[in-house]
């Protein structure tokens, strides 16, 4: 029964490219036009066939992790490219669309990011082991989208360029008080303190990240300029000249966008500038991927621009600038995967094959989402005054000949 159901689903879904599937009984069927990307998979267990029919998005990743979905040459990228390009046609079963809509409606209640839940969700992903992240991140442990001014540049240089790009948008001067919401392992805060003379307060909900950030500050002799804390941003009540938040908004959740931007507005000085860097969707709002939610980022959600705009508008903040970085994160994730694979023998000393398949699926699925779907990175530059930054972006680039600085109306 379930084989027939899956067969009908694949006939309906796969129109472009080619997908060859060998079922547990040994029968092989081919789907698609044959032109374009292709993949060859084998299903070894009837339970996997049933699960793919009932919850295709979740069980796809789980079956790969369990080894019951095997891909020729382990070409997960090729398989995902076939699936995503066909899924873009929106020619998917009515029941699947209804199920996705139901999950979207329910997710705000099921995964409400209260203060207690937020700390639990952060610990799930970030407190597993710093050693794992050191294997594939750059030396500064930037676990967010790099900025490739040249596609051929190294990951190290692209992460340095990302921090410099953000610092330029913040217009930091020595002695300024800077808040880093979701400071991670401290790389951004330490850079702003060391290279720009800022006094940085960084807050995180990860005990591992906090310990690393404090240790790095001590080693760099920056303890006097930095104050890293285990604290929810909602509990802050100080004023700051600048606020930066990189890769944290994805963990806030739809019901809390208003609270988040209101808090940024409250904490930001009247003449201050905030830079919010987040993964975002250029498509209408939809449910978060089930597999990612269960295994990687519980409580996480990629916001659509239409969900963030009302919260920003109601906060009273000016949208000084909005930049959309498109394929930068795809390139970043490809670097991470290459580095992870290069260290696979070391990874196997601590983690089993199921974990390794999970982590590889996570990295590949993410960069494929940026390459094949409507996902990008947003950088919101916000302030209370529309004169807080120069009138054009010329000041961000070394080749700019002139910077036009706005003057407040007399």
List, by residue number, the catalytic residues: 366
Alpha helices by DSSP H, listed for 76-231, are 76-87, 94-110, 115-126, 130-136, 155-170, 187-196, 207-219
Around Cβ 74, how many Cβ atoms within 10 Å? 12
Beta bridge partners of 324: 378
Angle at 65 between CA 352 and CA 142, to 5 degrees: 70
Please state, in angstroms and as integers, the Cα–Cα distance from residue 122 to each residue in 46, 115, 166, 205, 317, following that order: 35, 11, 24, 6, 28
Instruction: Indicate the SS3 state at residue 40.
Output: strand
3-state helix, strand, coil in the chain (%, to 5): 50, 20, 35
Spatial contact of 137 and 336, defined as CB atoms under 8 Å apart: yes
List, in order, residues 6 or more apart from 244 with CB less than 8 Å away.
166, 170, 178, 179, 180, 181, 188, 192, 274, 275, 277
The Cα angle at residue 246 between residues 302 and 109, in degrees rounded to 5: 35
Helices and strands (H and E) in the chain: how many: 16, 11
Order across the sheet with 18-22: list the strands.
28-31, 18-22, 38-43, 69-71
Burial of 255 (0-12, 13-18, 19+ CB in 10 A): middle
Q: Is 82 helix (H, G, I), strand (E, B) or coil?
A: helix
């Amino acid at each position: 029964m379930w084989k027939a159901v899956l067969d009908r689903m694949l006939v309906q879904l796969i129109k472009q490219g080619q997908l060859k599937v060998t079922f547990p009984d040994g029968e092989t069927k081919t789907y698609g036009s044959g032109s374009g990307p292709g993949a060859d998979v084998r299903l070894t267990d009837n339970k996997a066939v049933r699960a793919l029919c009932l919850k295709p998005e979740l069980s796809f990743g789980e079956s790969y992790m369990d080894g019951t979905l095997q891909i020729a040459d382990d070409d997960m990228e090729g398989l995902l490219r076939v699936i995503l390009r066909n899924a873009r046609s929106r020619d998917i079963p009515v029941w699947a669309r209804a199920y996705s809509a139901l999950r979207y409606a329910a997710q705000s209640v099921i995964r409400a990011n209260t203060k207690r839940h937020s700390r639990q969700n952060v610990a799930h992903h970030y407190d597993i082991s710093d050693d794992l992240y050191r294997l594939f991140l750059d030396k500064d442990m930037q676990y967010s989208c790099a900025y490739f001014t040249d596609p051929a540049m190294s990951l190290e240089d692209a992460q340095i360029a990302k921090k410099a790009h953000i610092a330029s948008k913040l217009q930091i001067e020595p002695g300024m008080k800077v808040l880093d919401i979701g400071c991670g392992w401290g790389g951004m805060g330490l850079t702003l303190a060391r290279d720009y003379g800022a006094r940085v307060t960084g807050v995180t909900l990860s005990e591992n990240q906090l310990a690393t950030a404090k240790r790095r500050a001590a080693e760099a002799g920056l303890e006097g300029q930095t104050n890293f804390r285990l604290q929810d941003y909602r509990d802050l009540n100080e004023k700051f000249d600048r606020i930066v938040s990189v890769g944290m908004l994805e963990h806030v959740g739809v019901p809390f966008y208003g609270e988040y931007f209101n808090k940024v507005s409250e904490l930001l000085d009247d003449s201050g500038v905030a830079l919010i860097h987040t993964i975002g969707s250029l498509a209408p709002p939809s449910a978060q991927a089930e597999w990612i939610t269960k295994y990687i980022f519980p409580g996480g959600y990629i916001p659509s621009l239409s969900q963030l705009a009302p919260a920003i508008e109601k906060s009273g903040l000016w949208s000084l600038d909005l930049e959309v970085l498109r394929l930068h994160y795809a390139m970043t994730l490809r670097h991470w995967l290459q580095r992870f694979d290069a260290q696979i023998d070391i990874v196997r000393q601590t983690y089993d094959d199921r974990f390794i398949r999970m982590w590889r699926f996570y990295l590949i699925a993410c960069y494929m989402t940026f390459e094949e779907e409507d996902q990008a990175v947003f950088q919101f530059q916000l302030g209370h005054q529309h004169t807080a930054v120069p009138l054009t972006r010329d000041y961000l680039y070394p080749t700019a000949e002139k910077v036009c600085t706005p003057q407040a109306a007399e």
